[in-house]
């Protein structure tokens, strides 16, 4: 399994535990691709398959392009990968705003993954609530449950909006752990549209959660999320994998600029440090 270790150019600076800063968005995407490969190998070795939930957006697109490239494509046993989504817009799969549609064009058509292993959210259905129940049944069929009765992904990729939302859990909507639902369809008031999303308890049940955050417009919110002082908390703050699950933020220098100002001499991870060795809540040694 070559090409998955850190190279000198891509060595991150860990400003806070679990917060890794890279020079630019391309290096963030490359680090995410290396983690995808490493976690796929680990999960297949332990569980016989790799169950991953993808997100939409510009940085995931770069990640998908890398995974479909000759550099990474052959490093994954795609026959044992099952792909799901953390959230989806209420648009058909051929719509330019479809998270599934983007992943299909950029990644899924370019790697040898069986079609039966691709599980999209059918959020475009007229009855989106029923579609959410149907997606819960898809999860029930393919994922094991944790000790609280929620499906357990091996890896979930998430983004973070400048308002602190993640997946389709937005500030001002009801984001709670006190739900038995696995998939919900919140109305996003500022968008005047419904979305389909995994719920907070499902995000918390994952073995690994990786946030991809890039751009100077995310600097303020990233600092606020990592400080953990907002009331009510931002949705991105609420994601806390249980049972020593891994939570990582992969960010570029622009997004991490305000963190760097607070910590001018961040530690440098040694070369060869295994991916995914930092656990616990970012900003707190564990």
What pLDDT digit, counting tens, does each position of 175-227 carry?
Answer: 777 789 999 999 887 777 899 999 999 999 999 999 999 999 999 999 999 98
Q: Which residue has the tokens 């998270």?
A: 99
Q: What is the pLDDT of residue 176?
A: 72
Contact 270, 205 (CB under 8 A): no
Residue 119 phi/psi, 5-degree rounding, is -125, 90
Residue 67 phi/psi, 5-degree rounding, is -65, -30
Q: Tell me the CA distances in angstroms from 119 to 45, 61, 150, one per residue in order.
A: 22, 18, 18
Contact 160, 170 (CB under 8 A): no
Q: What is the pLDDT of residue 9?
A: 59
Q: What is the pLDDT of residue 166?
A: 95
Any domain includes 92? yes
Q: How far apart (Å, rounded) are the C-alpha atoms in residues 268 and 21?
A: 10
Q: How far apart (Å, rounded) are the C-alpha atoms in residues 60 and 81?
A: 17
Contact 23, 126 (CB under 8 A): no
Q: What is the pLDDT of residue 122?
A: 97
Q: Between vectors from CA 52 to CA 17 and to CA 200, what angle results, nearest 5°? A: 65
Q: Which domain holds residue 154?
A: 13-268
Q: What is the pLDDT of residue 131?
A: 97
pLDDT < 50: residue spans in the chain: 1-8, 264-281, 283-286
Contacts of 279 (CB under 8 A, 6+ apart): 18, 244, 245, 246, 247, 286
Q: What is the pLDDT of residue 229?
A: 86
Any domain includes 21? yes
Tell whether the torsion through CA atoms of 239, 85, 245 and 268 is positive or negative: negative
Q: How far apart (Å, rounded) are the C-alpha atoms in residues 229 and 245?
A: 22
Q: DSSP states of 266-282 as a string?
A: -EEPPTTPPTT---SST
Any domain includes 273? no
Q: What is the pLDDT of residue 283?
A: 41
Residue 232 phi/psi, 5-degree rounding, is -70, 160
Any domain includes 149? yes
Any domain includes 141? yes
Any domain includes 276? no
Q: Please give the helix or strand (H or E) that residue 44 lies within, else none.
A: helix 25-47
What pLDDT digit, counting tens, does each position of 93-107 carry?
Answer: 999 999 999 999 999
Q: CATH number for the domain including 130?
A: 3.40.50.1360
Which candidate, 257, 240, 256, 260, places its Cα nearest to that of 248?
A: 240
Question: Mapping DSSP to helix (H, G, I), strand (E, B) and coil, where does residue 250 land?
Answer: strand
Contact 156, 206 (CB under 8 A): yes
Q: Number of structural domains, the chain?
A: 1
Any domain includes 215? yes
Q: How far apart (Å, rounded) are the C-alpha atoms in residues 95 and 101?
A: 7
Any domain includes 3? no
Q: What is the pLDDT of residue 106?
A: 97
């Amino acid at each position: 399994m070559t090409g998955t270790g850190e190279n000198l150019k891509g060595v991150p600076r860990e400003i806070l535990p679990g917060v890794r800063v890279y020079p630019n968005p391309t290096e963030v995407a490359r680090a995410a691709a290396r983690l995808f490969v490493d976690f796929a190998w680990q999960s297949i070795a332990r569980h016989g398959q790799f169950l991953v939930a993808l997100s939409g957006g510009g940085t995931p697109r770069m990640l998908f392009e890398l995974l479909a490239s000759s550099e990474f494509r052959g490093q994954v046993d795609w026959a044992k990968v099952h792909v799901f989504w953390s959230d989806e817009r209420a648009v058909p799969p051929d719509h330019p705003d479809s998270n599934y549609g983007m992943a299909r064009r950029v990644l899924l058509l370019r790697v040898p993954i069986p079609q039966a292993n691709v599980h999209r959210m059918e959020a475009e259905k007229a009855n989106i609530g029923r579609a959410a129940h149907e997606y819960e049944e898809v999860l029930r069929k393919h994922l094991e449950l944790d000790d609280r009765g929620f499906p357990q992904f091996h890896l979930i990729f998430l983004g973070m909006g400048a308002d602190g939302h993640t997946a389709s859990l937005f500030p001002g909507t009801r984001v709670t752990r006190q739900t038995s639902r696995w998939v919900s369809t919140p109305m996003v008031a500022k968008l005047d549209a419904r979305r389909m999303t995994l719920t907070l308890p499902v995000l918390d049940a994952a073995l690994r959660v990786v946030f991809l955050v890039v751009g100077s417009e995310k600097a303020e919110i990233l600092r606020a999320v990592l400080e953990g002082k907002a009331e009510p908390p931002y949705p991105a703050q609420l994601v806390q994998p249980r049972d020593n699950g891994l939570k990582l933020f992969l960010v570029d220098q622009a997004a991490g600029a305000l963190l760097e100002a607070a910590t001018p001499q961040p530690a440098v991870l040694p070369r060869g440090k295994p991916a995914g060795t930092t656990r616990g809540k970012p900003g707190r040694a564990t």
